[in-house]
Amino acid sequence: MKDIDAKVLSSDVLAEGLIRIILHAPEIACEAKPGQFIHMLVPDNAHVLRRPISLMAMDAAAGTLTLAIQPKGRGTQMICSLKEGDTVKCLGPLGAGFDGKGAQTIYFVGGGVGVAPICGAMDGFATESSCAFFGFRTKNHVYGMTQAPCRVVAVSDDGSIGERALVTKPLLEAIEQKRPDLIMACGPTPMLAAVQKIANDMDIPCQLSLEERMGCGIGACLGCNVKINLPDGTWTYKRVCKDGPVFDSKEVAFGG
């Protein structure tokens, strides 16, 4: 884990409501793994808390990190206003990422801004028999499909790309044809809960990347606790920033 001044190499519109920023951060890029994130300091003197940003891609050789950021609040809006040549303080890599070792066929599931970390997982673990399933609001929100390392099936809320369907529909159809060794997913909570039910009901190993508001990003403040099921039927809390953001699907207690 390093706290560095990263240089902005480029910033452009990736899709509707989404900005792509490429950072030169070799100290972090050489250690980063799919599913991890960085904690970015908002470039002003008013925001004390950093913003957790997942890694869409990391290139150790080039020393770069690619981020897909949704400018929702004032903090992320300011981060998205960074220009080429600017520097921004970044802490990372942080968290526990995806683990696809030993899996021959992985199904990747992403929704909205959650497609970004799934792209990183695909780069790290996709095989010829793997497939990705992406859900978007409209065709204007599509990203991450060009130069993908495996086949991608996209659906949308309005049918402007692929079927008008939930992303779990093509996922289920694919499972009926070929059972995967592992599912990796990131996206809105309702989508993750639906993927969790499919995986748990069918006893398919599954890893879910969660999102929570974070304070410190390193496990000290306990502000990102989530409820976790234990094998004996009881439950506890774990920290998304330190113990996650990637968890086994059987652990996560959605709605708890």
**Hey, how many other C-beta atoms are within 10 angstroms of the C-beta on 60?**
12
pLDDT, position 44: 85
What is the rounded CA–CA span in Å between residue 210 and residue 175?
23
pLDDT, position 46: 77
Domain boundaries, the chain: 2-94, 98-208, 210-256
**So what's the architecture of 210-256 in CATH?**
Ribbon (2.10)
For 199-219, the DSSP string reads HHHTT--EEEE-----SSSSS
For domain 2-94, give the CATH number. Answer: 2.40.30.10
* Nearest in space to 206 (alpha carbons), one of 198, 215, 216, 217: 198
Kindly report the pTM of this predicted structure. Answer: 0.95
What is the rounded CA–CA span in Å between residue 76 and residue 222?
22
**So what's the architecture of 98-208 in CATH?**
3-Layer(aba) Sandwich (3.40)
What is the rounded CA–CA span in Å between residue 195 and residue 236?
22
pLDDT, position 255: 72
Q: For each of the chain's 256 residues, which pLDDT tens digit applies? A: 899 999 999 999 999 999 999 999 999 999 999 999 999 999 987 788 899 999 999 999 999 999 999 999 999 999 999 999 999 999 999 999 999 999 999 999 999 999 999 999 999 999 999 999 999 999 999 999 998 999 999 999 999 999 999 999 999 999 999 999 999 999 999 999 999 999 999 999 999 999 888 888 888 888 899 999 998 889 999 999 999 999 999 999 987 5
